[in-house]
Chains A and B, each alone.
Chain A
Amino acid sequence: MRNITIGQYYPADSILHKLDPRVKFLGTLVFIVSLFLIKGLAGYVFVTVVLATLVKLSKVPFGMMLKGMKAIIFILIITVIFNMLFTPGEAIFTIWRLSVTKEGAVQAFRMAIRLSYLIIGSSIMTLTTTPNQLTDAMENLFSPLKVIKVPVHEISMMMSIALRFIPILMEETDKIMKAQIARGADFESGNLIKRVTNMIPLLVPLFVSAFQRANDLAMAMEARCYHGGEGRTQMKPLRYEKRDYIAYILMLAFAAAAVCFCIFGGGWI
């Protein structure tokens, strides 16, 4: 449970940490879209260089980003196997009725790179941005949707609260689990059905306490006159600085390059 990278901010003093969260959010979107546009060997080399530069700039140890990979390693392996086996084309070798094709191998390689770069790219954002900054950025970026009655502020408030409560609930889970183990509960052995029923002594108290906490929080917010987003100001409003504009320009250049690679790229990959 502890190797979820989402919302695991890594404090460091780098240019990426200082960037406006909106820039990082949009930048990550542009990066992900570009990943799926780019074609050709030159294109992949280009993306790799850009990603390596970003990793270096972030001053976050590379191992932290690889931790996020652990969660998708299973999906990655399945994708690679399926692409290798079920892409029609020129067979390299055949086992029984399954054959690995040249096109399949290339396709599998491409998917593996895209998926792992996607995870590393988004980890850079979550590792250099606190969850609160991120929800602020989303609230700000999606605020035009208020016109069509989307409750943008409420959604982002819910997200901040949810993120804030993850560590608290993890601690609570740990505590209740220990208390039940002390009463002879067994969370480790048995078949699937047995294991699920064994979770009841953990889940019931956890839900009770989660509702209790939610109730207390609502009361505390009301006591401090919270009444939704209308007319609410922020303690640290988001403001663009010079480095943010430069980042936007670089981002546009990157997107343009990606489009070029999409149109003119080719070659064997």
Chain B
Amino acid sequence: MQLELKNVSYTYGKGTVFEVNALSNIDLMIEEGQFIGIIGHTGSGKSTLIQHFNALMQPTEGKVLFEGEDIWGEKYDRRALRSKVGLVFQYPEHQLFEADVLTDVAFGPKNQGLTKAEAEARAREALVQVGFPEKFYGHSPFELSGGQKRRVAIAGVLAMNPSVLILDEPTAGLDPKGRDEILDQISYLHSKRGITIILVSHSMEDVARYADRLIVVNDGKIPYDGTPREVFAHYEELEKIGLAAPQITYIMHDLAAKGLSVDVHATTVEEAKKSILAALVGKGARR
């Protein structure tokens, strides 16, 4: 078990009149190599939850274990933990600060105690992994386009060689092409390097397409946790908490209602296509 949350609760402003329960009694296990999608509407507690994974927030109650060890134990090295559990915040390009791209990406590895040459090698590796063109390595990160800045920022976390990579809406504010490119890169990292990926997203299509496990957060609790097919089967309940199923799931339900025997649990366009073609062929054969 890589990451484990045991009965975790978090309260903002504990002991004041402004007390807010952001997480209540969360139990969660994350195994190595999973691709996890986290969905939930704004203010549901997603961001609070992911900040518990790398010890940026301390639970007011409960325990967080990384590889079996309590990360809030007295002797635990939380700085080392943060390089194993990489967290890419929303709009990560706001954290860029160095004079050129390469030095900025090398900031993380340098903090891990690597030499300048080693850190730069790691930075180059990470930049290649996010598909950042080499001719811009010496440019100022502030001169780049939004999508390129985002790649640099993601590379900055990736360069620390984390075994878990958490991304908080990595595609917010990007155009469709930039979005697909970044998500494809993440999925490639997952399959090539076997990194555990935790992807927070507002797009049901994205999580349905990439994640093999979906965690729904609502009101500081986890009402649903399972494969996208299982979770999206509850699409009516999801709508009540401000979420939805992928559009294609709705189309499949409508088709089924019209009498076509298709798989209503299909969550991606590819799955749906197969199921519809099979159903049409079946219908044709019967005629």
Report A's interface with B, CB cutoff 8 A: 175-176, 178-186, 200-201, 204-205, 208-209
Q: Known: A183-B107, A184-B111, A184-B160. Contact between A176 and B95, CB under 8 A?
A: yes
Task: Tell me whether A175 and B96 are in contact (CB under 8 A).
Answer: no
Q: How far is it, in angstroms, between the C-alpha of A148 and the C-alpha of B160 when the chains are bound?
A: 60
6 A-B pairs with C-beta separation under 8 A: A175-B94, A179-B95, A180-B95, A201-B97, A205-B96, A205-B97
Q: Known: A182-B89, A183-B157. Contact between A204 and B111, CB under 8 A?
A: no
Residues 145-169 of chain B: 1 if any A CB is under 8 Å from the residue's CB, otherwise 0? Answer: 0000000000011001000000000
Q: How far is it, in angstroms, between the C-alpha of A186 and the C-alpha of B112 when the chains are bound?
A: 11
Interface size class of B (residues with CB under 8 A): 20 to 34
B145 to chain A, nearest CB (A): 16
Interface residues of B in 221-248 (CB under 8 A from A): none
The chain A residue sitting closest to B91, CB to CB, is: A175
Task: Tell me whether A182 and B86 are in contact (CB under 8 A).
Answer: yes
Q: How far is it, in angstroms, between the C-alpha of A201 and the C-alpha of B106 when the chains are bound?
A: 13
Partner among B51, B94, B111 whose Cβ is within 8 Å of the Cβ of A183: B111
5 closest pairs, A vs B, by CB?
Answer: A184-B111, A204-B97, A179-B95, A183-B108, A182-B87
Q: A178-B51, A186-B111, A201-B97 are in contact. List 7 more A-B contacts (CB 8 A).
A: A176-B95, A178-B89, A182-B54, A183-B157, A184-B82, A184-B112, A184-B160
Does B170 interact with chain A (Cβ within 8 Å)? no
Q: How far is it, in angstroms, between the C-alpha of A204 and the C-alpha of B89 when the chains are bound?
A: 17
Interface of A is mostly: helix
Chain A residues whose CB sits within 8 angstroms of the CB of B82 once the complex forms: 181-184
Chain A residues whose CB sits within 8 angstroms of the CB of B51 once the complex forms: 178
Does B280 interact with chain A (Cβ within 8 Å)? no
Task: Tell me whether B142 and A208 are in contact (CB under 8 A).
Answer: yes
Partner among A175, A208, A209 whose Cβ is within 8 Å of the Cβ of B89: A175
Chain A residues whose CB sits within 8 angstroms of the CB of B107 once the complex forms: 183-185, 201
Chain B residues whose CB sits within 8 angstroms of the CB of A183 once the complex forms: 82, 95, 107-108, 111, 156-157, 160
Partner among B54, B87, B111, B157 whose Cβ is within 8 Å of the Cβ of A185: B111
Q: How far is it, in angstroms, between the C-alpha of A185 and the C-alpha of B98 when the chains are bound?
A: 14
Q: How far is it, in angstroms, between the C-alpha of A201 and the C-alpha of B105 when the chains are bound?
A: 12
Chain B residues whose CB sits within 8 angstroms of the CB of A182 once the complex forms: 54, 56, 82, 86-87, 89, 157
Does B268 interact with chain A (Cβ within 8 Å)? no
B202 to chain A, nearest CB (A): 19
